[in-house]
Amino acid sequence: MTDAAALPGQPRGAVVSGPATDRAVNVLAPNPSAMTLDGTNTWLLSEPDSPLAVVVDPGPLDEAHLRRVIDTAERLGKRVALTLLTHGHPDHAEGAGRFAELTGTAVRALDPALRLGDEGLTAGRAIEVGGLELRVVPTPGHTADSLSFHLPADRAVLTGDTILGRGTTMVAHPDGRLGDYLDSLRRLRSLTVDDGVRTVLPGHGPVLEDAQGAVEYYLAHRATRLAQVETAVEDGYRTAADVVAHVYADVDRSLWPAAELSVRAQLEYLTEHGLI
């Protein structure tokens, strides 16, 4: 969900389809909304001189979009050889089955229910397609099945909904858990500090060129919100809905249902840590 705050390293202007790094091309899905920002970013990844491409998050079940992804690959002289999912939310995964049918590819995801084909994804393991290397980074918290993909050759990480290109994301309680999410942000921070990752290729919104700044902003934002929720409870706001109306008064009301899930995750975290 968005707090309309500028993020470190965020370029101006709208998200457009096209190349973002040497190996990553965005094909923007036509599903904009308050929750999905400009729409879902479907990422087409490939080594520059390879005929094979990997697609991350085919997006919604929108035939024209899925065909546009395939056309984009073909225009670049490439064939889609594998489909990956950052997580199972429909704006990322709903089109995966049809996309797999159109491309004849397997779909790999953390959640076995989302896979097509025999292979899943294992944390820390590398995926190699036509010389392109991706490392699977577990980043639960937005959902339990959320993954990020580290693209070392471009010093980039694909974050799905764990970090967005604008505003902040939600912790989708009860599947998503705040403790997991904070651990995931720290894992992403270590990618920026220890592994030289500079660029965030998010599931929605613009590319971020200051990955470490973005992670630090997200950690600081979560700490601020958590303190606000703790104070609200101390001030007598009891239900999640009451806390949302108080703490998220600055956020567009269309996002309050999502905010309520995040508040439930925060209340759970505060209770588990004996803070309320």
Site string for Zn ion, 155-174 (x = CB under 5 A): ------x-------------
User: Is the distance from CB of 195 to CB of 154 less than 8 angstroms?
Assistant: no
Whole-number minimum distance, CB 210 to Zn ion, in Å?
23
Between 23 and 89, whose beta carbon lies closer to Zn ion?
89
Between 145 and 230, whose beta carbon lies closer to Zn ion?
145
R_g over Cα of the chain = 18
Under rule CB under 5 A, residue 260 binds Zn ion? no
Whole-number minimum distance, CB 87 to Zn ion, in Å?
6
Query: Closest by alpha carbon to 47, among 23, 27, 71, 26?
Result: 23
Whole-number minimum distance, CB 235 to Zn ion, in Å?
31
Instruction: Enumerate residues 34-93 that contact Zn ion by CB under 5 A.
Output: 89
Residues binding Zn ion: number (CB under 5 A): 2
Task: For residue 2, give both structure tokens.
Answer: 């968005």
Between 29 and 70, whose beta carbon lies closer to Zn ion?
29
Between 78 and 89, whose beta carbon lies closer to Zn ion?
89
Query: Closest by alpha carbon to 140, among 95, 104, 188?
Result: 188
End-to-end Cα separation, the chain, in angstroms:
25
Between 161 and 230, whose beta carbon lies closer to Zn ion?
161
State yes or no: cis peptide before 30, omega within 30 of 0.
Answer: no
Site string for Zn ion, 85-114 (x = CB under 5 A): ----x-------------------------
User: What phi and psi values does residue 266 have, to the nearest 5 degrees?
Assistant: -70, -40
Beta bridge partners of 108: 84
Between 36 and 199, whose beta carbon lies closer to Zn ion?
36
Whole-number minimum distance, CB 194 to Zn ion, in Å?
27
Report which residue's Cβ sits closest to Zn ion: 89
Alpha-carbon distance values, 128 to 151, 159, 218 (Å)? 11, 18, 30
Helices (H), 150-205: 178-194
Whole-number minimum distance, CB 112 to Zn ion, in Å?
18
Task: For residue 7, give both structure tokens.
Answer: 């993020």
Whole-number minimum distance, CB 92 to Zn ion, in Å?
6
Whole-number minimum distance, CB 94 to Zn ion, in Å?
11
Separation between Cα atoms, residue 179 and residue 163, nearest integer Å:
16
User: Is the distance from CB of 193 to CB of 144 less than 8 angstroms?
Assistant: no
Query: Closest by alpha carbon to 112, among 104, 121, 124, 103?
Result: 121
> Residue 11 gets which letter from DSSP?
P
Between 154 and 161, whose beta carbon lies closer to Zn ion?
161
Q: Which residues bind Zn ion (CB under 5 A)?
A: 89, 161
